[in-house]
Structure 1
Amino acid sequence: MPSRLKVFFDGGCRPNPGRMEIAVVMGGRTELFRDVGHGTSMDAEWLALIHALTVARSFGRADYVLLGDSANVVAQASGTAKCRGDAVRHLETFRAMTAAVGPPTIRYVKRSQNLAGIALTTRFYA
């Protein structure tokens, strides 16, 4: 049986708040978006998670895990932490996307292990 497909996500903005950027890395493929609007780093992390879910589903596999380095977003999306402010809207979007099939597995990884975070740093700021 093949291992679970790992889908790394990360988002950020400079300054904070400011222009948001996101990255998703999966199966050797990197998707980078340098300008996804204006917001906070938390908004960017949520947008990255939502995009990661979209990308994972496009592969047609149900056995994937979403991996991000924002402990807050991972906890909120997993239902172990309460959302406040704009995060509520992002959580509603995420839940609507997962309502039919149930919530995906989401895990926290250290920044140094997050391939999407590494891609953001090396592609945009190197």
Structure 2
Amino acid sequence: MSVPSLKNLIAPLCPKPAIWATGQASQSVSFSGSSKRMETRRSGHRTKVFFDGGCRPNPGTIEAAVVIRGAAYLFDDLGQGTNSDAEWLALICALKQALSLGLKDIVLIGDAREIIDHAGEALRTGHAPHAHAATLLDLAKQVPGARIRWIKRAQNLAGIALAARHPR
């Protein structure tokens, strides 16, 4: 029995089929106003925004994935850095993508506990100990009440989307 790929599992949930584009994801995806309809339907619920980042090798070229409402947004060549840099940049990409979709009531979900802890502290205190946290705080001003939460790696849809790009 064959196991369906993540793309085949997520595709039926996507508002448009061309979601798996790379690069500037917000430019390659058009929701034609459907996000407003979805927001009305989801009133009272936070939209889950999954994020994950990685680099190959470590340190190396950074890539990130963001999954919102079943749509995977992939970001390539975000510069050079470590896995920590990749996770921070994925978090920043997630917030930017949520903003580009007009989402305001969100929870950012990732699997890098250290980044989640540091980002959560930055959001709580308003203190940014480094450039990535400062960027996060600047973006978070546009989404008051945004939350951040840790989940296990196996539950992170963005991590699954990113892993699907590099079969073993």
The alignment's TM-score, normalised by the length of structure 1, stands at 0.86
Following superposition, the deviation at residue 101 of structure 1 comes to 4.5
Quick one: which of 90, 110, 114 aligns to 1:68?
Answer: 110
Following superposition, the deviation at residue 103 of structure 1 comes to 5.3
Per-residue CA deviation, residues 68-105 of structure 1 (Å, 9 max, x unaligned), is 0011111111117xxxxxx7110011111123553520
Query: 3-state SS of the aligned residue for 2:130?
Result: helix
Ranges in structure 2 where 5+ consecutive residues have no aligned partner:
1-40, 123-128
Count of residues in Structure 1 that have an aligned counterpart in Structure 2 = 120
* Largest Rg, 1 or 2: 2
Following superposition, the deviation at residue 50 of structure 1 comes to 0.3
Per-residue CA deviation, residues 18-39 of structure 1 (Å, 9 max, x unaligned), is 1111000101211112321110
Quick one: which of 36, 47, 57 aligns to 2:99?
Answer: 57
Higher relative contact order, structure no. (Cα contacts within 8 Å, ≥ 6 residues apart):
1
In structure 2, what is the equivalent of residue 78 of structure 1? 120
RMSD: 1.8
Query: 3-state SS of the aligned residue for 1:76?
Result: helix
Quick one: which of 41, 46, 69 aligns to 1:27?
Answer: 69
Quick one: which of 134, 144, 163 aligns to 1:102?
Answer: 144
Ranges in structure 1 where 5+ consecutive residues have no aligned partner:
81-86
Structure-1 separation of matches of 2:77 and 2:153: 21
* Structure 2 residue 17 is the aligned partner of structure 1 residue 12: no
In structure 2, what is the equivalent of residue 83 of structure 1? none
Pair 1:5–1:101, CA change in 2 (3 A): closer
In structure 2, what is the equivalent of residue 112 of structure 1? 154
